[in-house]
A and B are shown apart, each in its own frame.
Chain A
Amino acid sequence: MSERFSRLAAAMDRLYEFDREPVTPDKLQSGAKFAGLFAGEHVAATEFVIGAFFVLHGVGARDLLWGLLIGNLLAVLSWTFICAPIAVRTRLTLYWYLRKIAGPGVTFLCNIANAFLYCVLAGAMISVSATAAGLLVGIPVPKLGTVLPSSLGWVLICLVLGAAFTTVAILGFAKLSRFAEIASPWIFVVFIAGALAMLPRLGVRPDLGNIWEVATTKIWNGVAAAGQEKFGFWHVLFFAWFCNLAMHVGLSDMAIFRYARKWTYGFFSAFGMYPGHMLAWIASGVMVAAVGREMHPGLMASEAVGIAGIAGVLLAGWTTANPTLYRAGLALQTITPGWPRWKITLLAGAATTVLACFPVFFLKLLDYVAIYGLVLMPIGAIVFAEHWIFPLLGLEQYRAEKEGWTFNGAALAVWLGTLAVAFVLPLHLYFRWLPCWFVAVLAYTGLMAVRRPR
C-alpha cells in the first residue's frame, strides 16, 4: 500500500516539478499585477447566482451591506495575515509545502479531494451558462429545490455546453486564459450596467431619491422565497468570509502569493472582493428582483443587457469553468500517471458535464461553497500550526520530509477528525468552519507534541 502511494507520489511530483523550487527574487511581481489578478478572478458566473440567492433568502438591505462590507474585509485580512505571510516566507505552493509537512500520501489525498470539488464547481458554472443557452432555444430552467435533471432539454443543453467547454479546455487552455483576462472587466460591466438598467423597472427615480426605499421594500425586503431559509447579517458576513476559504485560510493561494514582494500584498485581494463579491452580488440581487425573483441567470442578464447579457453569462461560465477544469485535470492526473494531458482533461470534463446536468449543484451553490471550503480548511490549519506554532513551542518542523513518512498520521487524523467534528457540530453550516479551524490547529499541535521524538 505504502509502496503504491510512493509510486503515485513520485508520478505526482513529476507533474508539479515546474514549481518545485521556491520562487526566485527576479520572478517577483508588482502589486498592480496582484490587483489585476484578483479583480479578474472574482467576477465569475457564480456571482450571478450568489447575489440573487441573498435576495431569495430574505436578507435585509442593511444586513446585506454590513455583512458584505465586514465579511469581505475579513476575507481580505485572511489573505493578508494567514495566506500571504506563509507564501512569502516559503515561496512555495501549498502542494510542495504540504508535502514537507504531511507527506506525499496526504498531499495525494488532498489533490483527489480538490479534483472532485473542482469538478462540482465547474459543473455549477456550466449549469449557470446553460440557463443562458437554454433561453435562446426555449428550454426551461429547473425550479428552486430541484435536485435531478428536470427535462431532456436541460440535459441536452448541459451536455452540449460541457462538451464545448471540455473541447476548448483540451485544445487551448493557455489561449482561453488570456481571453478570460479580457472578458473579466467586461463581465463586471455587465453586472453594473445590468443593475443600473433594471433600477427603473423596480421604480427607482432618475434622481435616486427613493433608492433606499426600493432597496428595502422590493429587493432586499427581508422576505425569503418559498422553501428558502431566512438569512440575516451573520449568514451574509460568514458567507462573504468563507466564499474563498480554500484559497485564503485553506492556503491554496500560496501559489500566487509566493510571487509577492511583501506579505502586505494580501491587501490587494480587496480588488477582487469589493468589486466581485460586493458590487457584483448587489447587482445580481437587483437583477433577480427585477425579473420577479426567478433564479434564472440567463433571463436576469438578458432582461438587463439584452443579447450581450446572454453572452455575458455564457462567457462568465466558460472562462471560469475552464481553469477549474484544468486544475481538476491536473489533480486527477496523479492517479493516472502516463495518461496524456488531453485524456485526463476529457475525463474531468466528462465528469463535470454529468454533474452539470444535476441542477442541485447550482441551485444549492451557497451550501456547496460552504462545504468546499470546509473540506479543505483543515489542511490550511495544519500548515498554519506547523509553520507558526511549532517554532514557538519548540516542536520540530517538517518531520514528514525529514523522516520520509508517506503519511503523516497526525495530519490525516486531524483532517478527517475535523471534518467529523464539523459534521456533528450543532451550528449552521456557514458557521462551522471557524470553531473547526481552532479544533484542527489545537489537535494537530497536540498530536505532534505527543509524537515528539525522544
Chain B
Amino acid sequence: MKNPFLTRLAGWLALLGLGSCLAAAALFFLGRIAESAYKRAFLIGSIVWFVLAAGRKMASGRDAPRNG
C-alpha cells in the first residue's frame, strides 16, 4: 500500500470498522439488535480494524517518541 490515497482510504475504513464496534454496542443497548448480532458485528468490525490499521501502519511506518 504505497499509494497515499490507498493508505488514507485504509485509515478511514479502519476507523469505520472501529466505529461499527461502538455502533453495534449502542444499537444493542437501545434494543434495536439482538445480543448475538451485536457480538457478531463487533467481531467483524474488530477484524476490519486490525487488518486495515495494520496494513496502513506497515505502509506508513511512523514512530512515536520512544520510552527508554
Contact = CB atoms under 8 A, between A and B. Distances in A.
A144 interface: no
A241 to B, nearest CB: 21
Given A178-B57, A182-B53, A197-B38, A256 B25 contact: no
A40 B65 CA distance: 12
A204 B42 CA distance: 21
Contact of A33 (B30, B65, B67): B65
Contact of A186 (B24, B29, B30, B46): B46
A415 to B, nearest CB: 21
Given A33-B65, A185-B18, A308 B26 contact: no
Interface stretch (A188-196, A223-231, A366-374, A443-451): A188-196
B39 A37 contact: no
A114 B35 CA distance: 44
A95 interface: yes
Interface residues of B, number: 27
B54 interface: yes
Contact of A197 (B25, B40, B50, B57): B25
Interface string B1-24: 000000000000000001001101
A391 interface: no
A34 B28 CA distance: 34
Contact of B64 (A19, A37, A182): A37
A435 interface: no
Contacts of B29: 196-197, 199-200, 204, 206
Given A16-B68, A93-B68, A306 B25 contact: no
A121 to B, nearest CB: 14
B28 A197 contact: yes
Contacts of A179: 54
Given A186-B18, A189-B18, A256 B50 contact: no
A305 B22 CA distance: 11
A36 interface: yes
A260 B66 CA distance: 12
Q: Which label, helix, strand, loop or mixed, suits the secondary structure of the B interface?
A: helix
Nearest to A186: B49
B14 to A, nearest CB: 9
Nearest to A37: B64
Contacts of A255: 66-68
Interface string A243-287: 000000000010110010000000000000000000000000000
Given A197-B28, A307-B39, A189 B65 contact: no
Contacts of B65: 29, 33-34, 37, 256, 259
Given A200-B31, A306-B39, A192 B49 contact: no
B54 A181 contact: no
Nearest to A192: B22
A311 interface: yes
Interface string A158-199: 000000000000000000001101110110010011101101
A306 B37 CA distance: 11
B68 A306 contact: no
Contacts of A323: 67
Interface in B41-68: 42-43, 46, 49-50, 53-54, 57, 64-68
Nearest to B53: A182
Contact of A308 (B46, B54, B66): B46
Given A182-B54, A185-B18, A196 B25 contact: yes
B39 A256 contact: no
Nearest to B21: A189
Nearest to B36: A306
A200 B24 CA distance: 14
Interface in A200-224: 200, 204, 206
A259 B31 CA distance: 47
A311 B46 contact: yes
Contact of A19 (B28, B49, B68): B68
Contacts of B35: 197
A307 B42 CA distance: 9
Interface of A: 16, 19, 29, 33-34, 36-37, 40-41, 93, 95, 178-179, 181-183, 185-186, 189, 192-194, 196-197, 199-200, 204, 206, 253, 255-256, 259, 305-308, 311, 323
17 contacts: A16-B68, A19-B68, A29-B64, A93-B68, A185-B49, A189-B22, A193-B22, A196-B25, A200-B28, A204-B29, A206-B29, A206-B31, A255-B66, A256-B66, A305-B39, A306-B39, A308-B43
Interface of B: 18, 21-22, 24-26, 28-31, 35, 38-40, 42-43, 46, 49-50, 53-54, 57, 64-68
Given A196-B22, A306-B39, A308-B42, 7 more contacts: A178-B57, A179-B54, A192-B22, A193-B24, A199-B29, A256-B67, A308-B43
